[in-house]
Structure 1
Amino acid sequence: MNDFSMYCTIGLRHVLALNAYDHLLFLVLLLAPYVGQEWKKMLLLVSFFTIGHTLSLLVTAFKPLPCSENYIELGILATIFCTAWFNMVMLLKTSKRNSIVAIATITFVFGCIHGLGFSSSFHALLPGSSVEKMIPLGAFALGIETAQLVVLILVLLMQFVLHTLFRFNKRDFILMTSCFALGVLMPLFLQNPIWKK
């Protein structure tokens, strides 16, 4: 396997590995409010997330940020919490028009935060100068985007199955995913080592 393929595979595994459930959870929440006809919006959002994630890795490839991993982990949990909370609040609004540009911008920022969570591991994977990291970073970003497209397809399939077999509507799916995410987040938030100082 050449280096490009190897780093692309690492990007795929970064998203699709079961122990990377924070990434998966965020993506499911991000995509939950959309249905099959809105696939272009879904594609736009996952792409903005990838760009933000990659930008963080690009910046830290030149100069690592002097920030505790525990704070970054809290930031990642906050992105998931905010997305779940936003989804639930939007269910209560009578006017549900949201600017996709605004949501994509916030998704980009959240992608930057998630990218910071992988920056130290990324440095360990890539010995050498910052310039030598550019091609592996591109391959990694391609792997991330491909994996997120897989998640997008799985979310659409899950919505279809739940709607067809269990008569779940869009509102039910959003509530189910948001409540599940909030339930998963609480123990992770409380277990963060930052509270033990």
Structure 2
Amino acid sequence: MSVFSTYLQLGFFHIFNLQAYDHLVFLLALCAPYVLSDWRRVVALVTSFTVGHSITLALATLGFVQYSAGLIEVLIPITILLTCLVNMSRAGRDFKRNQPIVVTLPNVLAAVFGLIHGLGFSSYLRELLGQNTRPVLELLAFNIGVEMGQLLIVALILVLGFIILRVFRAARRDWVLVVSGAAAGIAVILLLGNFTD
């Protein structure tokens, strides 16, 4: 197996994994306001997040950025909580269909929050790389793997939302509030856990 495919798989299974539950909850919160027909917006949103985390993942892995792991562990649940609060404040509102897909507040927030999550990924990747000082190929493959994992998770969330909204006839506003509320609850537990350890 090539180095590229190895790190591609590592990136994919790093995100598509219950041990990455904080990132999974963030993706759940990120996608909560959207339905299956919004898939282009969701792909743009997830890619904005990937761009953000790829930047800090590369900078931290290559040693250009130093950070406090404890601070990142606190900031990650805060990003989830803020995303949930934005969702809840906008629940029930329709999106402007003529609004550009890329330049929207959710995409900007996803990219900014991605910067924080990238630092969370970097400690794991640095352990994998060991003494490799120029892991450009590995970084690229890992990021592509993470993006593939994220898109699969998002597809599952959108399909679940489709079933709940179409088959069980739930109101879209209720779906957004319930999913965002559950994600916010998990975020609060994660946040409090950082102060009780």
Match of 2:123 in 1: 120
Query: Considering only aligned residues, what root-mean-square deviation do their CA atoms show, in Å?
Result: 2.0
Structure 2 counterpart of 1:42, one-letter code? V
Q: SS in structure 1 opposite 2:21?
A: helix
Structure 2 counterpart of 1:123, one-letter code? R
Shift of 1:185: 1.8
Structure 2 counterpart of 1:63, one-letter code? G
- Residue 61 of structure 1 contacts residue 130 of structure 1 at CA under 8 Å; is this kept in 2? no
Worse-matched range after superposition: 55-64 or 35-44: 55-64
After superposition, what is the alpha-carbon deviation per residue over 1:106-131, rounded to whole angstroms, capped at 9, x for unaligned? 11111110010121221111123442
Match of 1:4 in 2: 4
Shift of 1:16: 1.1
Match of 2:166 in 1: 164
In 1, Cα distance between equivalents of 2:126 and 2:171: 44
- Residue 8 of structure 2 contacts residue 145 of structure 2 at CA under 8 Å; is this kept in 1? yes
In 1, Cα distance between equivalents of 2:91 and 2:114: 24
Worse-matched range after superposition: 176-185 or 160-169: 160-169
Match of 1:149 in 2: 151
Q: 1:191 aligned to 2:193?
A: yes
Q: SS in structure 2 opposite 1:192?
A: helix
Runs of 4+ more than 4 Å apart: 94-100
Q: SS in structure 1 opposite 2:91?
A: helix
| Ranges in structure 1 where 5+ consecutive residues have no aligned partner | none
Match of 2:180 in 1: 178
After superposition, what is the alpha-carbon deviation per residue over 1:151-183, rounded to whole angstroms, capped at 9, x for unaligned? 121112101111233211221111111111122
Instruction: State the identity %.
Output: 37
> 1:12-23, aligned counterparts within 5 Å?
12-23=12-23
TM-score of the superposed pair, with normalisation by structure 2: 0.89
Aligned residues: 193
- Residue 52 of structure 1 contacts residue 109 of structure 1 at CA under 8 Å; is this kept in 2? yes
In 2, Cα distance between equivalents of 1:144 and 1:118: 10
